[in-house]
Amino acid sequence: MRCIYFAAFLLVGCASGMGDKGDNKPGQGENSAGGSGMYSITSLYDGDTDSRERASQWMDAEARNICNSDYTRISEESVPTINRLGEVPFSRLIWQIKCLPQTGRANAP
């Protein structure tokens, strides 16, 4: 009998944790920016000489797509990933950006 009570308790706890929080619209997903226009973008790059530059170019394009306008980079951080041998096979480039207000551009027909 105790097993049944425990199973019911477990199912009720899981169901309440899976419910919609109400603060996200369907399809919106969770946004840590919270409407402030601040986002975090991450890219990986290896030790190649031009790899970090390519990652920066990709992140610039991604930031413009996210903001649909210009942006300001708030911070930039490079986090190396170290394997068991003490080598750095790749690093993670992390940008914090803030979207700038859109300018009054005319919409093309």
Dist CA 80 CA 87 (whole Å): 9
pTM of the entire predicted model: 0.58
What pLDDT is stored for residue 35 in this prediction? 59
Q: What is the pLDDT of residues 67-94, one digit of tens each?
A: 998 999 999 999 999 999 999 999 999 9
Structural domain spans, the chain: 33-101
Band of the pLDDT at 32, cuts 50, 70, 90? Answer: very low
The CATH T-level fold of domain 33-101 is Dodecin subunit-like (3.30.1660)
Q: What long-range pairs does 93-96 form, CB within 8 A, spacing at least 24?
A: 93/42, 93/43, 93/44, 93/45, 93/52, 93/55, 93/56, 93/59, 94/40, 94/41, 94/42, 95/40, 95/41, 95/42, 95/59, 95/63, 96/38, 96/39, 96/40
> What is the token pair recorded at 18?
């899976």
